């Protein structure tokens, strides 16, 4: 393994926490005897292009300093390669780190953990979801994700929250949730699990979890395990606004799973179809349904 480690940084993550988190992470890596090269992009595509160049040039490992959005970019460059990923979680949600039991908002500890894992050759192989590329992108491996793919009510909340400038932080999404709830209607879905029969149902949302949570600890796929080769698919069924208002807050504890309107399935592949519905994965927009996602065992080597 090369002794040069690429520190992949989003300085704006967590309203500036990413910039502050980079220093203790770099110090921990240098103290362990590694040289550190920092990669920062002008925007998402530029950052990904720079990271891919660093990987091609022989980076020994990549340590992502930021939130789930930055980790998502790193997955696009590292999935299916031998280059391991370390995570210094410094964003708003940090659901990837939560799912894998990594330190959250403790950059010195996270940096030390990555450095120790590199010194000891301690690497954990974990699964990733892969969303098939549209036909216009034939030859592309598609989009990789580590936490949850969602569509329906939660995706619409994400859509609305992303369009809002104020307030900042998670409160913006709380307001978006209230606004979407006022206009809420269940959606007609066609769900195909593995190669089984099509399930036609009305649902408030469908979440496809490689990890257990999204939105900063909302445990929508509470029992998902990121190295078992299967997704946990949570379907919140046809319910009215009052029921959804009672059920949705329970996702923070994962107790929504026991509600009679909620069902959970396990599958290695899923196709979701619904008119006028969009999908998000790792909090990033994928585009309109239909989408097909596959769970790829051992797609990522993680420093843990």
Sign of CA dihedral 250, 180, 275, 147: negative
Q: How confident is the model at residue 19 (pLDDT cuts 50, 70, 90)?
A: confident
Mean pLDDT of 280-284: 93
Domain with CATH 2.60.200.40 in the chain: 130-298
pLDDT band, residue 262 (cuts 50/70/90): very high
The CATH number of domain 130-298, selected from 3.40.630.30, 3.40.50.2300, 3.40.50.300, 2.60.200.40 = 2.60.200.40
Q: Indicate where the chain has its CATH 3.40.50.10330 domain(s).
A: 4-121
d(C-alpha 216, C-alpha 12), whole Å: 17
Query: Is 190:210 a contact under the CB 8 Å cutoff?
Result: no
Q: Which of 62, 38, 40, 58 is nearest to 49 (CA)?
A: 40
Query: What is the rounded CA–CA span in Å between residue 90 and residue 65?
Result: 6
Q: Which helix (H) or strand (E) holds 72?
A: helix 68-78
Give residue 134's pLDDT band: very low, low, confident or very high (50, 70, 90).
low
Pick the more confident residue, 171 or 246.
Answer: 246
Per-residue pLDDT of 90-106, as tens digits, reads 988 899 999 999 999 89
- Residue 170 is classified by DSSP as T
Judged against a pLDDT cut of 80, whether residue 295 lies above it is answered with: yes
Q: Interior CA angle at 11 toward 109 and 70, to 5°? A: 75
Q: What is the pLDDT of residue 14?
A: 62
Structure token pair of residue 192: 């195909």
- Note the pLDDT of residue 170: 62
Query: What is the chain's length?
Result: 304
**SS3 of residue 103 by DSSP:** coil
Comparing CA positions, the residue from 199, 96, 209 lying closest to residue 151 is 209
Across the range 57-63, mean pLDDT stands at: 95
| CATH 3.40.50.10330 correct for 4-121 | yes
Would you say residue 220 has pLDDT above 90? yes
pLDDT confidence of residue 1:
52
Mean pLDDT of 50-61: 95
Query: pLDDT for 135-193, tens place per residue?
Result: 555 556 799 999 999 999 888 887 777 777 777 666 676 787 778 787 788 999 999 99
Question: Which residues, listed in sequence order, are joined to residue 189 by a DSSP beta bridge?
Answer: 201
């Amino acid at each position: 393994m090369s002794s040069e480690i690429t520190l992949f940084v989003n300085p704006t993550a967590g309203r500036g926490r990413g910039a502050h988190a980079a220093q203790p992470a770099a110090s921990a890596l240098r103290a362990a005897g590694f040289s550190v090269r920092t990669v920062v992009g002008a925007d998402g595509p530029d950052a990904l292009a720079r990271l891919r160049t660093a990987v091609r040039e022989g980076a020994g490992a990549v340590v992502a300093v930021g939130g789930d959005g930055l980790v998502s970019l790193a997955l696009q460059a590292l999935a299916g390669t031998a280059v391991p990923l370390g995570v210094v979680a410094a964003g708003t949600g940090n659901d990837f780190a939560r799912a894998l039991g990594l330190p959250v908002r403790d950059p010195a500890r996270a940096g030390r953990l990555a450095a120790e894992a590199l010194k000891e050759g301690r690497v954990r192989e974990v699964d990733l979801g892969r969303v098939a590329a549209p036909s216009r992108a034939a030859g592309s491996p598609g989009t990789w994700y580590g936490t949850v793919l969602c569509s329906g009510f939660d995706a619409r909340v994400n859509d609305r929250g992303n369009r809002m400038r104020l307030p900042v932080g998670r409160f913006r999404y709380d307001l978006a949730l209230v606004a979407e709830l006022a206009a809420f209607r269940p959606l007609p879905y066609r769900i195909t699990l593995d190669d089984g029969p099509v399930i036609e149902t009305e649902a408030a949302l469908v979440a496809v979890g490689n990890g257990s949570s999204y939105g900063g600890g909302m445990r929508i796929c509470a029992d998902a395990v990121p190295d078992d080769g299967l997704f946990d698919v949570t379907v919140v069924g046809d319910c009215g606004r009052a029921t959804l208002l009672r059920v949705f807050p329970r996702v923070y504890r994962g107790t929504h799973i026991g509600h009679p309107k909620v069902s959970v399935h396990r599958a290695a592949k899923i196709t979701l179809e619904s008119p006028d519905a969009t999908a998000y994965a790792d909090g990033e927009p994928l585009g309109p349904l239909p989408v097909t996602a596959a769970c790829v065992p051992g797609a990522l080597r993680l420093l843990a």
